[in-house]
Structure 1
Amino acid sequence: MPSMALFMTTLGIILGTLTVTSANHWLTAWLGLELNMISILPMIAKQKHPRSAEAATKYFLTQSTASALMLFSSTLNAWQTGSWDITQLNNKLSCILMISALAMKMGAAPTHFWLPEVMQGSTLTTALLITTWQKIAPITLLYMTSNHIETTITLIIGLLSILIGGWGGFNQTQIRKMMAYSSIAHLGWTMTVISIMPNIAITNIIIYMIISTPFFLLLTTTTSKTLQTMTTTWAYAPTTTITLMLLLLSMAGLPPLAGFTPKLLILDSLVTHKLTLTAATMAMLSLLSLTFYLRTTYLLTSTAPPITTQSTMLWRLKPAQNQITTTLAPIALFNITILPALLT
């Protein structure tokens, strides 16, 4: 992509998100979301491949549908209450429609169908944007309307997302699809507590973004796209391999890593609000996600010396110990080790 086009699309993505996060009117928030969507489409479609064009088309159609539903919901609320204020979503039907629209924009279940396919047709950098930056605006709108959100609906969406995110990741050998289902599962944890303790929900999604950012950036240095190619990274990038392994275990939520802290806070909040059965169900469903996280971790470490390599080596190895790797490794380790101390 030409540098000027890249600058314009990046500027559009940043301005769109800032417009939504600073908006107080539903039409302003809708305008920011549309600017955000239009700006990222060239990034998804920049590869000259039919899969990229398909991913861009699916992303456009899904986001347009969600935006139309969001406009209908805000208009209905303004018709009933006379207010376009984001924090005054008092109409129950409008609230349900708005939650559905924002869940579709983020890729939460049951409107998750577009996320794995779009991420598979994108580059690793674009997939990183879709799973992190593109979720900031919808999460902000959910946070601003959290006082009017029906707890039952968010619990159903959250449990479905955790179930589908864990179950869908079982079969995947493509890293981008696996991370898409991981994103769906983490969104599920956020959705379950967004109407009960919105601050903990924001903490959970922020920690997920902090963990997944170095994970995707380290993957770009190794050019790994499948689990098979990840098994060869130890031969030429042992530091990257160890960091990826720790980041995966942190995403899985194993103590004492950073990913365990928000899950513990969410379960504690649910039990405090007498939703013990829901908390127990979430903890059991998270074992599905833990399975494919541990499988990927095993594949990363199974080729470490003195174990024999179990897969075909790459024909030409590219050295990954460059400036990006040496910069991201301490950042990733900082996120893994220091966050629990900061939050407790």
Structure 2
Amino acid sequence: AIKYFLVQAAASALILFSSMNNAWHAGQWDITQLTHLPSSLILTTAIAMKLGLAPFHFWFPEVLQGSPLTTALLLSTVMKFPPITLLLLTSHSLNPALLTAMAITSAALGGWMGLNQTQIRKILAFSSISHLGWMIIIIMYDPKLTLLTFYLYALTTATVFLILNTTKPTKLTTMMTSWTKTPMLNATMMLTLLSLAGLPPL
């Protein structure tokens, strides 16, 4: 909880600082109209910290692993709405090179780091980082598509967490053994995970 608070507080402070810096140099407070390059870089970094994009992703897997499933669900979906909204509003003012670099790094790192995990929450955390990377890549070309992708991601992730909250597995091994107890939920879980991975049938 402290790690989450510190990261979010630092990111919020950076957002305010970028606005103040832009006002100092450009004479306007509108955060959606950043014209000063350092202010744009600071804002890009701040939003990346709030979302948990690489290389500012360090806090997200640890916080998710140490949280109850309901809290983890909120952190993975609802708590990403404000920074995503801010990202959509300011996407034209952000630094495209830095945004692209962080997006590609997030997409690659999220997929790579998730392969080595056995804890379900950490796998979902790295999945979130990877998905956000793809969303950030899209945002420069089609913000509406990014929003649609985020809605679908939030829906599928919420489904996964709600199923996990019912079956209560903590590792992949325990999730596999719960098939006999709740076959319907496990089948739904499998379909949802396939959907989250972008595979058929959903």
State TM-score, norm by structure 2. 0.96
Structure 1 Cα separation of the partners of residues 189 and 130 of structure 2: 19
Shift of 1:81: 2.1
Distance (Å, rounded) in 2 between the aligned partners of 1:205 and 1:118: 21
Name the larger-Rg structure.
Answer: 1
- Report which structure shows greater RCO (CA 8 Å, sep ≥6): 2
4+ runs deviating over 2 angstroms: none
1:206 deviates by: 1.1
Q: State whether residues 43 and 94 of structure 2, in contact with CA within 8 Å, keep that contact through their aligned partners in structure 1.
A: no
Paired residue for 2:102? 157
Matched, 1:74 2:56: no
| Residue equivalent to 1:22 | none
**Within 2, Cα distance between the matches of 1:196 and 1:78?**
28
Q: What letter is aligned with 1:137? A: P
Amino acid of the residue matched to residue 61 of structure 2? P
Match of 1:168 in 2: 113
Q: Are 2:90 and 1:134 equivalent residues in the alignment?
A: no
Verify the 8 A CA contact 1:150 1:195 in the aligned structure 2. no
Alignment partner, residue 120 of structure 1: 65
Alignment partner, residue 196 of structure 2: 251
Counterpart in 2 of 1:209?
154
Q: What's the CA shift string for 1:265-316, capped at 9, x where partnerless?
A: xxxxxxxxxxxxxxxxxxxxxxxxxxxxxxxxxxxxxxxxxxxxxxxxxxxx
| Conserved 8 A contact 2:54-2:129 | yes
Distance 2:41 2:79 in 1: 22
1:80 Cα shift?
Answer: 1.8
Distance in 2 separating the partners of 1:81 and 1:195 = 24
- State the 1:195 CA deviation: 2.0
2:88 is equivalent to residue 143 of structure 1: yes
Deviations 1:8-57 (A, max 9, x none): xxxxxxxxxxxxxxxxxxxxxxxxxxxxxxxxxxxxxxxxxxxxxxxx11
TM-score (norm 1): 0.57
The CA distance in 1 between the partners of 2:30 and 2:64, in whole Å, is 34
One-letter identity of the residue aligned with 1:93:
P
Shift of 1:151: 2.3
Equivalence for 2:40: 95
Cross-structure match for 2:168: 223
Are 2:185 and 1:232 aligned? no
CA distance in 2, matches of 1:161, 1:116: 13
- Is the 8 Å Cα contact of residues 158 and 188 (structure 1) preserved in structure 2? yes
Task: Kindly state the Cα deviation for residue 254 of structure 1 after the two structures are TM-superposed.
Answer: 1.3
- Work out the percentage of aligned pairs sharing the same amino acid: 50
Shift of 1:256: 4.7
Separation in 1 of the partners of 2:28 and 2:78?
29
- 8 Å contact 2:119–2:171 — kept in the other structure? yes
SS at match of 2:55: coil
1:233 positional shift: 1.7
Q: How many residues align?
A: 202
What whole-Å deviation, never above 9, does each CA across 1:147-197 have from its counterpart, x for those lacking one? 222322221111100111011111111101110000000000011121221
1:84 maps to amino acid: W
Matches of 1:204 and 1:79, distance apart in 2 = 36
The match for 1:178 among 123, 144, 148 is 123
CA contact (8 A) 1:116 1:181 kept: yes
Structure 2 spans left out of the alignment, 5+ residues: none
Tell me, in whole angstroms, the C-alpha distance in 2 between the residues paired with 1:161 and 1:123: 25
